[in-house]
């Protein structure tokens, strides 16, 4: 087994997770099997009880593990399925060591950080690295390990010591260290400064680790004299100094690594020269380039509780990007704080109230993601009501599904006090109730977690068609409350269809509204299994509906083209609502489509390559989109922060 360790210095938030994911993808493209481990030095045993505002979203794995969001990056880039043990925390390690001590495994010895904690860390890494995560038998060839935090943090010291010992334990040709550091540009001076990187590498050496490669984060590519200086003062060969500058989207990062021969430098350290091929990233390259070329906008209103931090809904944003690129559309997400839609805000802050409703009414589609607690719930209910009554495409995830059911019960059934027992334990009409097996005393890992099976009740519903008319699907869950089965009959008689249920038929998994362009709520989280080349079916459906293309997109609706699962989409013969352009054919992309099919699917390249402004229907040759009520030129959007900004969010 070969190991690649990624560490970070100077400041946090440099993009170590994206760097580790990109390194893994590059090695996989060279023919190696890759697995990943994320080390988080915090004391929590997992991320399940952390606030999304403080630490970003909680990513859920197939086995129910609630883990750091970087594991989502690993799964999306590498198309693998990790386990809860692929996320190591200080809490897990100390709990493991204490459990061993209580069992008497240490035979009365004094339990100490060295050697007991450090040995436990090394044993955990070696054990987890052997677990296959790509669907094949046997262990992977390379394990990419990311150490969270910044070099010099007190909490990460045991891990630094353990990894230093580990590098000697596995041997010099089985261990490669890549250090991600910041090379800032001071506006006053206007030159790239290497001193922070020098100090970071010096600190790393003092702790017993020596980097083989240095990945320098900067706004622009490193100048040659800067590379020479870093090489000289950090004792790393110049060709092993990699520059990771700001790009338009993070899908370019593996390409930056490839172009600078990072894989060859890694192979030289790991003694893999001649055993691998040149990286095959043609489809990945096409996807990254197509993403930059898209200009026809689709606007999705994200009505949530944590709208000030995009990382709180990171997987949802990624899934929207995957789907919009697959449909050939430029994604714009308008963040709508759910609380700002409520009547109380109209009195307390009229400007915020008007701004929130303006964004909601200007969107092509509405998405209400998951969440906990009652803050902003009434605003989410109002958003669902607006989408239902105005026939705007709507997707509700987890809590988003539950509030859609509550809104329907209130507005259609006339049950004004219909509610969830999470928000009103004494409601007379509980549409959503606490799960029987849930715990009311413990927070961590007590929900319905991980991959669970959903059975479609009909093959004629939109969700079944979007999933390819399968009899059942497996999606990941994270919830404590569910639709009250005693209310189902009344809701269905009024026009709400529960088209997906669990194996018992008592748990409602998918709800749809009949006679609506697209109104779907799901109890599971489809965003966790979305991949750049395999977008989530329900997100594809939302984007297609928001562009007025859903009828042509669904299987069986037309048969003008002979592309599997990709019916014809004769836009010129249909009335396209929501401002969608009807001068460009939009096509479906089957999962796993080849590179040329992916390019054709977006239906955009001819107009760009031929330079035809009339085909693009863009005035003055510059695409315009509206964000927060103001027109902005897409060509001038910023490209800063952690690798890229996409409509003000990290891609």
Q: So which residues are the catalytic ones? A: 398, 525, 527
- State the CB neighbour count (10 A cutoff) for residue 535: 25
Q: Are 67 and 35 in contact (CB under 8 A)?
A: no
Helix (H, G, I), strand (E, B) or coil at 200: helix
Helix (H, G, I), strand (E, B) or coil at 613: helix
- CA 194 to CA 642: how far, in whole Å? 19
385's enclosing H/E stretch is helix 377-389
Antiparallel, parallel or unpaired: β 175-182 and 142-147 = unpaired
Polymer length in residues for the chain: 651
Q: Are 270 and 141 in contact (CB under 8 A)?
A: no
Look up tokens 């939302």; give the residue: 542
Q: Are 313 and 369 in contact (CB under 8 A)?
A: yes
User: How large is the greatest C-alpha to C-alpha distance in the chain, in angstroms?
Assistant: 81
Helix (H, G, I), strand (E, B) or coil at 482: strand
Residues in a beta bridge with 396: 368, 521
611 dihedral zone (left: phi>0; alpha: psi -120 to 50; beta): left
Residues near 347 by Cβ (< 8 Å), separated by ≥ 6? none
Q: Are 243 and 255 in contact (CB under 8 A)?
A: no
**Alpha-helix residue ranges (DSSP H) falling in 109-223:** 118-129, 157-170, 195-206
Q: Are 241 and 229 in contact (CB under 8 A)?
A: no
- Extract long-range pairs of 100-106: CB within 8 Å, 24+ residues apart: none
Sheet-wide strand order for 508-513: 330-337, 297-304, 365-368, 394-397, 519-522, 508-513, 496-501, 448-456, 472-479
Q: Are 375 and 339 in contact (CB under 8 A)?
A: yes
Per-residue buried b or exposed e for 41-62, using 16+ beta carbons within 10 Å of the residue's own CB: bbebbbbbebebeebbbbbbbb
Question: How many angstroms separate the first and last alpha carbons of the chain?
Answer: 32
Q: What is the DSSP code (8-state) at residue 115?
A: I
Helix (H, G, I), strand (E, B) or coil at 27: helix
Q: Are 279 and 29 in contact (CB under 8 A)?
A: yes
Rounded to 5 degrees, what angle do the CA atoms 435, 438, 440 make? 115
Residue 17: HSE in the Cβ half-sphere, 13 Å Cα cutoff: 22
């Amino acid at each position: 087994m070969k190991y690649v360790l990624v560490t970070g210095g100077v400041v946090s938030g440099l993009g170590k997770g994206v760097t580790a994911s990109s390194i893994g993808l590059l090695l996989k493209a060279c023919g190696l099997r890759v697995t990943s481990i994320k080390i988080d030095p915090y004391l929590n045993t997992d991320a399940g009880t952390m606030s999304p505002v403080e630490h970003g979203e909680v990513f859920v794995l197939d086995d129910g593990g609630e883990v750091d969001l970087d594991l989502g990056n690993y799964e999306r880039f590498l198309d693998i399925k990790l386990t809860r043990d692929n996320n190591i925390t200080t809490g897990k390690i100390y709990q493991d060591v204490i459990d061993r001590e209580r069992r008497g495994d240490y035979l009365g010895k004094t339990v100490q950080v060295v050697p007991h904690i450090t040995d436990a860390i090394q044993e955990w890494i070696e054990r987890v690295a052997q677990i296959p995560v790509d669907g094949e038998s046997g262990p992977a060839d390379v394990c990419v390990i990311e150490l969270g935090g910044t070099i010099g943090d007190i909490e990460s010291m045991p891990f630094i010591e353990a990894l230093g010992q580990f590098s000697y334990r596995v041997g010099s040709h089985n261990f490669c260290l890549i250090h991600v550091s910041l090379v800032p540009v001071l506006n006053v001076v206007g030159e790239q400064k290497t001193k922070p990187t020098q100090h970071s590498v010096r600190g790393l050496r003092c702790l017993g680790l020596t980097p083989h490669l240095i990945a320098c984060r900067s706004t622009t590519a490193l100048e040659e004299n800067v590379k020479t200086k870093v090489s000289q003062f950090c004792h790393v060969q110049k060709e092993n100094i990699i520059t990771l500058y700001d790009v338009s989207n993070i899908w370019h990062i593996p390409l930056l690594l490839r172009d600078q021969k990072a894989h060859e430098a890694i192979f030289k350290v790991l003694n893999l020269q001649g055993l691998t091929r040149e990286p095959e990233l043609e489809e990945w390259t096409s996807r990254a380039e197509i993403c930059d070329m898209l200009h026809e906008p689709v606007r999705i209103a994200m009505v949530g509780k944590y709208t000030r931090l995009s990382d709180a809904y990171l997987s949802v944003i990624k899934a929207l990007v995957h789907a919009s690129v697959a449909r050939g559309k430029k994604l714009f997400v308008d963040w709508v704080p759910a609380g700002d839609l409520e009547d109380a805000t109209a009195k307390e802050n009229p400007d915020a109230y008007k701004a929130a409703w303006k964004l909601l009414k200007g969107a092509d589609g509405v998405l209400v993601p998951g969440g906990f607690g009652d803050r902003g719930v009434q605003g989410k209910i109002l958003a669902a009501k607006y989408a239902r009554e105005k026939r705007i495409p709507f997707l509700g995830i987890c809590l988003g599904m539950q509030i859609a059911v509550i809104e329907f019960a209130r507005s259609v059934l006339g049950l004004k006090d219909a509610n969830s027992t999470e928000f009103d334990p004494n409601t007379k009409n509980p549409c959503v109730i606490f799960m029987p097996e849930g715990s009311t005393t413990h927070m961590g890992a007590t929900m319905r977690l991980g991959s669970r099976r959903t059975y479609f009740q009909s093959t004629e519903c939109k969700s079944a068609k979007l999933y390819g008319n399968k009899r059942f699907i497996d999606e990941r869950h994270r919830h404590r409350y569910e639709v009250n089965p005693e209310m189902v009959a009344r809701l269905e008689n009024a026009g709400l269809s529960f088209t997906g249920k669990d194996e018992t038929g008592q748990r409602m998994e998918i709800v749809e509204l009949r006679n609506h362009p697209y109104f779907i709520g799901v109890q599971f989280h489809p965003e966790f299994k979305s991949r750049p080349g395999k977008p989530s079916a329900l997100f594809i459906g939302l984007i297609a509906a928001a562009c007025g293309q859903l009828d042509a997109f669904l299987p069986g609706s037309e048969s003008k083209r002979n592309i599997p699962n990709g019916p014809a989409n004769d836009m010129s013969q249909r009335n396209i609502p929501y401002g969608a352009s009807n001068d460009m054919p939009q096509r479906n992309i089957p999962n796993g489509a080849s590179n040329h099919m992916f390019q054709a699917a977006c239906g955009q390249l001819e107009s760009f390559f031929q330079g035809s402004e009339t085909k693009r229907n863009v005035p003055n040759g510059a695409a315009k989109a509206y964000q927060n009520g103001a027109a902005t030129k897409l060509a001038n959007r910023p490209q800063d922060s952690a690798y890229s900004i996409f409509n003000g969010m990290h891609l």
